[in-house]
Amino acid sequence: MTEHYYSSDPSAPFRRVPVRADVWGHWLELTTGSGVFAQGRLDTGTGVLLREVGPPVDAREVLDLGCGYGVIGVAVALAVPESRVTAVDVNERALLLARENAAALGVDDRLEVSLPDAVDPDRRFDEIWSNPPIRIGKEALHALLLQWLPRLRPGGRAVLVVGKNLGSDPLARWLTEQGWPTEKVASAKGFRVLVAQASSS
């Protein structure tokens, strides 16, 4: 059976691999690893997201959905010192690496890393940032988004990066139909950045 980065407990031998990325004026020295999405690199989609959209300077509670080794969550915590970030993933290795990266960059006091089910169900977020796991399939992806988007505070937003050939435009239409008006705010390298808006009331 083929194993994926969204496996909860990858069985591949664990090998740490360093990666360095410049995000919003901060050099991030991070550790990635085998069995985790984008081992040894900043993946193209996340790179597009972080280049095309500035940090959420007005947000105080931010969710990094499908955090992987933690690059989005760590970047937000560094760029917005007033923020508290919750980073979730189903991959136990990803969570381990995200915790290590948060500690190495001194933001572990403001970045909580956990399995999705461990997040307080009453927690609400000003913004959700994600390079969502499109390859889990449309039905599972829709279920994932319907689980988390209702946790946006009134007027909050979700910032997503999705490959054009992986269904970014249909996803934007679906999100709008579900009650989160969504627009494309950027397009680069075959990826689109979508912003879905929560109702203001």
Half-sphere exposure of 136 (CA within 13 A, CB side): 17
Residue 177: domain span: 16-197
Determine which helix (DSSP H) or strand (DSSP E) holds 142, and give its type and residue range: helix 138-148
Count how many domains the chain has.
Answer: 1
17-64 per-position pLDDT tens digit:
999 999 999 999 999 987 787 767 799 999 999 999 999 999 999 999
| CATH number of 76's domain | 3.40.50.150
pLDDT at 74 over 80: yes
Residue 183 lies in a domain: yes
Residue 3 lies in a domain: no
